[in-house]
Structure 1
Amino acid sequence: MDAHGPLSEEGLVRLLDRTGARLDHPDFGAYAAELDAARLRAMWHDMTVVRAFDREATSLQRQGELGLWVEAVGQEAAQIGSGHAMRPSDFVFPSYREHGVAHTRGVDLPEILRIFRGLQHGAWDPAAHGFHLYTLVIGAHSLHATGYAMAMARDGLVGTGQDTDGAVVCYFGDGATSQGDVNEALTFAAVNDAPIVFFVQNNQFAISEPATRQSRVPLAQRGAGFGVPSVRVDGNDVIACYAVTQWALQHARSGAGPVLIEAFTYRVGAHTTSDDPTRYRSHADEAYWAERDPIARLEAHLRELGELPDEAVEAAASEAKELGRRTRETVKSWERPAVETMFDHVYAEPHGTVAAERAWFSRYERSFVDQGVHA
């Protein structure tokens, strides 16, 4: 690990050490005080189930059922911890690896596989979950997220002191911080006091490019250049991720403006199923991070407390197995949707131009039937 650069662990907020022992923090410890054993078990349960789903999706891709899959194994603490800190009035803009966050927002996990099977290209109704469609263009969604946050502020949905106050959480990786869109989003968010939390999952590799080739300093320090309060957190510590996100969301919801969180974690698997990580990282690094596994860390803590009974472990295993079965059967049962579905959910409300284009396309499709091209 470098001493002061983007791979440094210096300055990380940490509330669980790698063995599962509970730590305190003068600034953020209080934000995790409400986490009793039941809520910690729920986080462990969610991380366990999401990892099992992730493995199942990888298997489906290897069997040719998905065109591509993006693993999140090893990053569960950052996602489940931050996801548990949100409330219904918050809105999430993910990139393409936020399966754990989707789970915490009530998204049925098999549904996110449609885009990886080539059956969905934007037809998504976010109203049901406060969770936007995955974005495959790296960093592009950060501007959309900032605009949404600015609109929330203009609609009076922040700074009232009520439970209805909300904020946006925008997730992206370390590689996206090098994209112009992300830097523009930080500028717009800062000067407009947008209620948004930029959540960077620094998993240390942008595809195959290490973070040391993207920045000379920890990524959280970039926030200072935009006037955005920033914090680094141990991304494999679910309790710390929860606490830091709680603080950031309270800051944003109050109308005080944006926050940047850098969750320092590690991508255990490949960037995608088309990647070979053995070509650019060492077994020593993999072994180092295996000792800091987020699920094992919280499990050790719960066992030390005597708060992980056998029935809780069995329940998680049972749910994971059932989700795997349902995921396989669901994906294999999907048929190609009607082409007209591409017009659904373009706008939240009916739109004249979209309606006209849909009508034209219907006439165009019928013309082939009329000419006897299609049965």
Structure 2
Amino acid sequence: MADPAFVQLLTPDGERVEHPDYSVDFTDQEYRDLYRDLVIVRRLDTEGTTLQRQGQLGIWASLAGQEAAQIGSGRALAEQDMVFPTYREHGVLWTRDIDPIMPFGLFRGVDLGGWDAQKYRFQGYTIVIGAQTLHATGYAMGITKDGKVGTDDGEAVIAYFGDGAISQGDVNEAFIYAAAYDAPVVFFCQNNQYAISVPVHKQAKTPLFKRADGFGFPGVRVDGNDVLATYAVTKVAMDRARHGQGPGLIEAFTYRMGAHTTTDDPTRYRDKSEEEEWRLKDPVARMRGFLEKQQLADDDYFASIDAEAAEHALSLRERVLTLPEPKPSAIFDHVYPNGSPLLDAERAEFLAYQESFEGSGH
């Protein structure tokens, strides 16, 4: 399959190319840091899949193949920007300095995956497909009402979703409201070619980024396996949003190398030749090729990053296996900040029900 027209700054062979509208200006260390991000995030993601296969997680949604889309866009965000993720934005989570163990409680079933969204500027994982785009648009409308747009230090919102979600009513309604109210929100679609098992060409007859035209805001397609181009495109869109110029749509053209989740079997709907074709466009290998061609890193550096990634993965595994099991009565905690008489009565009834089984062997 020939590559469509998209913004690209780094070819699959690691060659640097120019684009008339987008560019990056990184130091040598910043280039190396992007590679480090890609390697560590991929290794942590692999550990998630392994833990699920070993029965330690109920399910895992892998980002394999989509690392550049997530790291590039995540690193392009300003500290004050707010993120609304789906359930596989582990790479974006990493760029917000959130402990990578945080979503594992959700997938292990010992908590609801909560963290301080205001502290990290990163909302909780969203399981309902596309729902977060409405949340993001409402939040962005609030930013405008608060007068927090129109300057370099203004706020903007980014909402992540997949190519399947773009066919959801929630997403299209979010587009309508964002356009009507010039909301400072960037819709970031990771087009990984499959809505679980349905290929994108069966649900969309035109490139996804062109959907933006019908709603009256700009759309752009970027090589989602190119971390430099993804950074550049996201930065421009977010700067535009925070300066009060309204929403934008980014389609990151990428590929899901693994299963949709660990409950999925991709061999039922795609063949190995397709996977091998995309493997040649691998985002991690591409960035390594760039560093080698530019003589920005040597074998010792690459080995040190691999070793660091392995240490992160080992630490993650050890901590996941020791996550505490919640008490059943914990479902009543944090429902209301100051409790309520009804909640107290329900907790007491539940505890009495539990105690009725003591000594019965059940």
TM-score bracket, shorter-length normalisation: over 0.9
The Cα shift of 1:335 comes to 2.2
The Cα shift of 1:254 comes to 0.4
- Other structure's SS at 1:263 match: strand
Percent identity of equivalent pairs: 48
| Counterpart residue identity of residue 92, structure 1 | V
- Other structure's SS at 1:261 match: strand
1:240 aligns with 2:234: no
2:10 equivalent in structure 1:
16
1:48 aligns with 2:33: no
1:253 equivalent in structure 2:
242
Report the Cα distance in structure 1 between the residues aligned to 2:206 and 2:328, rounded to whole angstroms. Answer: 47
The Cα shift of 1:362 comes to 3.3
1:114 aligns with 2:105: yes
1:30-82 deviation per Cα after TM superposition (whole angstroms, max 9, x unaligned): xx12x222111111101100100111111100000001011111100000000
In the alignment, structure 2 segments of 5+ residues that lack a partner are none
The equivalences for 1:142-157 within 5 A come to 142-157=133-148
Report the Cα distance in structure 2 between the residues aligned to 1:357 and 1:178, rounded to whole angstroms. Answer: 41
In the alignment, structure 1 segments of 5+ residues that lack a partner are 2-7
The Cα shift of 1:338 comes to 3.5
Q: How many residues align?
A: 359
1:362 equivalent in structure 2:
347
The equivalences for 1:176-187 within 5 A come to 176-187=165-176
Report the Cα distance in structure 1 between the residues aligned to 2:215 and 2:203, rounded to whole angstroms. Answer: 18
1:127 counterpart (107, 118, 130): 118
1:199 equivalent in structure 2:
188
- Other structure's SS at 2:101 match: helix
CA contact (8 A) 2:152 2:243 kept: no
Alpha-carbon RMSD across the aligned residues, in angstroms, is: 1.9
Report the Cα distance in structure 1 between the residues aligned to 2:327 and 2:312, rounded to whole angstroms. Answer: 27
1:316 aligns with 2:305: yes
1:270 counterpart (259, 262, 268): 259
Structure 1 residues 42 and 182: alpha-carbon distance in aligned structure 2, compared to 1, 3 A threshold: same
Structure 1 residues 351 and 201: alpha-carbon distance in aligned structure 2, compared to 1, 3 A threshold: same
| Counterpart residue identity of residue 218, structure 1 | P
1:89 counterpart (80, 92, 115): 80
CA contact (8 A) 1:48 1:316 kept: yes
- Other structure's SS at 1:314 match: helix
CA contact (8 A) 1:167 1:196 kept: yes
1:117-143 deviation per Cα after TM superposition (whole angstroms, max 9, x unaligned): 112236432122111111111111111
Structure 1 residues 357 and 251: alpha-carbon distance in aligned structure 2, compared to 1, 3 A threshold: farther
2:57 equivalent in structure 1:
66
- Other structure's SS at 2:189 match: strand
Report the Cα distance in structure 2 between the residues aligned to 1:358 and 1:58, rounded to whole angstroms. Answer: 38
CA contact (8 A) 2:161 2:190 kept: yes
2:19 counterpart (25, 44, 68): 25
| Counterpart residue identity of residue 105, structure 2 | R
The Cα shift of 1:357 comes to 5.4
Structure 1 residues 357 and 306: alpha-carbon distance in aligned structure 2, compared to 1, 3 A threshold: farther
CA contact (8 A) 2:102 2:113 kept: no
Report the Cα distance in structure 1 between the residues aligned to 2:334 and 2:209, rounded to whole angstroms. Answer: 35
Report the Cα distance in structure 1 between the residues aligned to 2:246 and 2:29, rounded to whole angstroms. Answer: 32
